[in-house]
């Protein structure tokens, strides 16, 4: 697992147990335009203009352009894109920290744009907690009090909030540091405090805006593992912004790739890497080690009748890298088996051709 970039089971997120498959967030045709008379831009002919021209003609910036997506319960939904592509604006629109210009927006089927002040406060405090890049910790307060802060705002009693905060401090691996001030912690430790604070209010969904961008690579890796572990243990829904492709591939069940305010592709890491929607995406993922993201589901071919029950069995989510090893060990093809059923087989030739991109539209220089 440590050597693979993609999560073990990419693809469609788990549906909630026994319930309806209602999305947590449902976003349709969302626009956020900054500038004078911004509300005239969505749907107008100018809206189609490139960013610089739109700005020259109208003085407006379309930070989010006609964006639609659902965030499913229990998934890590990554919003990826270069700096300035609209990621922060989009995620701030979800709780109306930034007021969208047009479009519709629901959380658990409830219209966010129709919420009054009290309901919005409740949304931000209880339902969708934000973890920022700049930790936003209170410098004069201890770690424990920082973690308890969100509960204090909610009016939770002192004993209860301290107990809850201590539990969250332990959960993010900061036991023993409860009485320190943020200034006495490393960047990674401060980010853990930020994470513990968001978790303490037990939100339905965690929103992360590039929380690890300022951290050193190794610490950053630790924090990513922390997020993966939290997600695995609790199945909490997360919306995670990053400009870093490897972080997106490591964390995301699905990734929305943004460019100039719009989503250019929305898919699993395997879909984005294996079937880029256009040249922009293809260029973006060019250096990704494909064998670590693509799985045997994409590489397999139909089994012949005598291949149906011989050879090693691989789960459909097995990475091509692992499958190459399995095939090399035995020399023959390996079966792709799901719930006892043989879906197909992979051999050396078909594994290597997906790595080389031969399943796609172009032959990548291998």
- Residues 29 and 66 sit within 8 Å (Cβ to Cβ): yes
What is the DSSP-derived secondary structure letter of residue 56? H
Of ligand ADP, Mg ion, none, which one does residue 89 interact with (CB within 5 to 8 Å by kind)? ligand ADP
Instruction: Report, in Å, the least distance between residue 128 CB and Mg ion.
Output: 17
Of ligand ADP, Mg ion, none, which one does residue 63 interact with (CB within 5 to 8 Å by kind)? ligand ADP
Residue 286, judged by CB atoms within 10 A of its CB (0-12, 13-18, 19+), counts as middle
Q: Which is nearer to Mg ion, 88 or 295 (CB)?
A: 88
Instruction: Report, in Å, the least distance between residue 28 CB and Mg ion.
Output: 22
Site residues for Mg ion, 189-228, by CB under 5 A, read: none
Site residues for Mg ion, 87-126, by CB under 5 A, read: 88
User: Taking contact as CB under 5 A, which single stretch among the options 82-90, 91-99, 156-164, 336-344 is the one that binds Mg ion?
Assistant: 82-90
Of ligand ADP, Mg ion, none, which one does residue 85 interact with (CB within 5 to 8 Å by kind)? ligand ADP
DSSP labels, 296-362: HHHH-BPPPGGGSS-S-EE-TT-BHHHHHHHHHHHSS-EEEEETTEEEEEE-HHHHHHHHTTTTSSS
Instruction: Report, in Å, the least distance between residue 89 CB and ligand ADP.
Output: 3
Of ligand ADP, Mg ion, none, which one does residue 354 interact with (CB within 5 to 8 Å by kind)? none
Show Cβ contacts of residue 21 under 8 Å, excluding neighbours closer than 6 positions.
15, 72, 73
> What kind and span of H or E run contains 72?
none
Instruction: Report, in Å, the least distance between residue 133 CB and ligand ADP.
Output: 10
Of ligand ADP, Mg ion, none, which one does residue 295 interact with (CB within 5 to 8 Å by kind)? none
Instruction: Report, in Å, the least distance between residue 34 CB and ligand ADP.
Output: 3
- Residue found under tokens 């604006």: 89
Instruction: Report, in Å, the least distance between residue 102 CB and ligand ADP.
Output: 16
- Residue found under tokens 């744009």: 113
Residue 197: closest CA among 217, 220, 171, 223: 171
Q: Would you tell me which residues interact with ligand ADP (CB under 6 A)? A: 34, 61, 63, 81, 83-89
Question: By Cβ distance, which residue is nearest to Mg ion?
Answer: 88
Instruction: Report, in Å, the least distance between residue 237 CB and ligand ADP.
Output: 21
Q: Which is nearer to ligand ADP, 35 or 316 (CB)?
A: 35
> What kind and span of H or E run contains 103?
strand 102-107
Is there binding between residue 265 and Mg ion (CB under 5 A)? Answer: no
- Helix then strand then coil, % of the chain, to nearest 5: 40, 20, 40
Q: Which is nearer to ligand ADP, 258 or 321 (CB)?
A: 258
Q: Cα dihedral angle (42, 44, 45, 49), rounded to 10 degrees?
A: -20
Of Mg ion, ligand ADP, none, which one does residue 95 interact with (CB within 5 to 8 Å by kind)? none
User: Which positions touch Mg ion (CB under 5 A)?
Assistant: 88
């Amino acid at each position: 697992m440590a050597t693979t970039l993609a999560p073990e089971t990419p693809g469609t997120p788990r549906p909630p147990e026994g319930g309806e498959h209602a999305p947590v967030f449902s976003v349709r045709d969302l626009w956020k335009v900054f500038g004078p008379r911004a509300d005239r831009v969505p749907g107008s002919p100018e809206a189609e203009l490139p960013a610089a021209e739109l700005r020259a003609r109208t003085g407006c910036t379309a930070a989010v352009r006609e964006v639609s997506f659902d965030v499913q319960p229990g998934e890590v939904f990554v919003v990826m894109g270069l700096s300035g592509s609209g990621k922060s604006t989009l995620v701030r629109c979800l709780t109306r920290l930034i007021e969208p210009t047009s479009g519709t927006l629901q959380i658990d089927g409830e219209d966010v744009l129709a919420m009054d002040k009290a309901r919005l406060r409740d949304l931000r405090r209880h339902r969708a907690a934000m973890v920022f890049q700049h930790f936003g910790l209170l410098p004069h307060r201890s770690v424990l009090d920082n973690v308890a802060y969100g509960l204090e705002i909610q009016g939770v009693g002192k004993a209860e909030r301290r107990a809850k905060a201590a539990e969250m401090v332990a959960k993010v691996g900061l036991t023993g540091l409860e009485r320190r001030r943020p200034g006495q912690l490393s960047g990674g430790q401060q980010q853990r405090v930020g994470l513990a604070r968001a978790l303490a209010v037990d939100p339905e969904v965690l929103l992360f805006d590039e929380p690890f961008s300022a951290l050193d690579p190794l610490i950053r890796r630790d924090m990513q593992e922390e997020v993966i572990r939290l997600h695995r243990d609790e199945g909490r829904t997360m919306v995670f912004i990053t400009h870093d492709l490897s972080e997106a591939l490591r964390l995301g069940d699905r990734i929305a790739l943004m460019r100039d305010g719009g989503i250019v592709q929305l898919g699993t890491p395997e879909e984005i890497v294996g079937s880029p929607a256009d040249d922009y995406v293809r260029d973006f993922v060019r250096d990704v080690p494909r064998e670590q993201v693509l799985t045997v589901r994409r590489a397999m071919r139909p089994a012949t009748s005598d291949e149906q029950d011989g050879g090693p069995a691989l789960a459909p989510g097995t990475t091509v890298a692992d499958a190459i090893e399995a095939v090399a060990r035995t020399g023959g093809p390996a079966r792709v088996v799901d719930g006892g059923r043989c879906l197909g087989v992979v051999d050396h030739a078909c594994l290597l051709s997906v790595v080389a991109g031969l399943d796609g539209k172009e032959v990548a220089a291998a």
